Amino acid sequence: MTSVDVALGLVWPTELRTDRLHLRPVTVEDASLVRELLTDTKVRAFLGGPASEERVTARQASYPTRAGSWTVVRVADGQAVGLVVIGPDHRCDGAAEVSYQMLPDAWGKGLGREAVAAAVSWWTEAVPADGPLVAVTQAANSASRRLLESIGMRLVDEFEEHGEQQCLYTPAGDDTELRWARLVAGRVDAVERRRGAQARATAMGQELPDDLTALSPGELARLCSDRHGAYGRICARTAGHVPALHLGRAPDGAWIAWVANREE
């Protein structure tokens, strides 16, 4: 699977048209629109508040050069009313994220729904082998959640980020959801290893040798036995601990963490 940036570069620039909208690549002439969107208190209510001047300037410069960034133009009067962006999802390598911002005077007319639906449909058709595509919005942002659900996106995860509860959506469909599940599953082991390395298990765990076969029977007896040796893992926590979170090392010496029940 190619990276999201590479996949976008192969099909960009692209213009999209709906009954009421024209989505075209962002240009330097859209600087005032970018500023208005990033500093409007209503637009930024669920996005951390108005952006700093430094961030506004950076976005004004980056959007025109970034594949996957559209200005949403209302066909009836030629007015630019928002932005829709598809780019790499910073939470999970290999996933693309669609984000969107519309000026308040364009709210309540279905224009945001129309724009986002066009971008999502384009991605799934233009880049069918890459993805998945996700959208993330605050759980408290009911309008944004309704928008995503109205275009057929399905809630697949909830998590906390920036101190707020977030909802993650993907387009409904077995193929997209399967790709998302595979992408997440492929990173579970890496996440476990990173968490284990950060925790460094226990003092006893830090003393475990790289070659686990060098442990004596007496040393092994001091370690947790609930998942002792399962999948080549040895839990570095002392015997008798509540076995919710196991911390230890794999045969290659790498630190990992895993969750298991006592009965397993």
Residues 127 and 206 both lie in one domain: no
In a domain, 195, yes or no: no
Q: Within this chain, do residues 38 and 159 fall inside the same structural domain, yes or no?
A: yes
Residue finishing a domain among 184, 213, 237: 184
pTM: 0.68
Same domain? 124 vs 24: yes
Q: Residue 99 above 80 pLDDT?
A: yes
- The domain containing residue 11 runs over which residues? 4-184
Residues in contact with 69: Cβ distance below 8 Å, sequence separation at least 6, in sequence order: 25, 26, 63, 83, 84, 85, 87
Whether residue 52 is contained in a domain is answered as: yes
CATH number, position 89: 3.40.630.30
Q: Is residue 53 part of a domain?
A: yes
Number of domains in the chain: 2
13 with 77, same domain: the answer is yes
96 plus 208 within the same structural domain = no
15 assigned to some structural domain: yes
For residues 33 and 77, membership in a common domain is answered with yes
> What is the reported pLDDT for 199?
47
Residues 167 and 228 in one domain: no
Residues 123, 220, single domain; the answer is no
User: Which of the two residues, 188 and 99, has the higher pLDDT score?
Assistant: 99
**pLDDT at res. 198:** 44
Residue range 210-249, pLDDT digits in tens:
666 677 777 777 777 665 555 667 777 777 776 567 777 7
**Residues 38 and 113 placed together within one structural domain of the fold:** yes
For 104-124, what is the mean pLDDT?
Answer: 94
- The string of pLDDT tens digits covering residues 100-113 is 999 999 999 999 99
Q: Can you tell me the distance from the alpha carbon of 58 to that of 43, in angstroms, rounded to the nearest whole number?
A: 18
**In terms of domains, do 152 and 66 share one?**
yes
Co-location of 24 and 146 in the same domain? yes
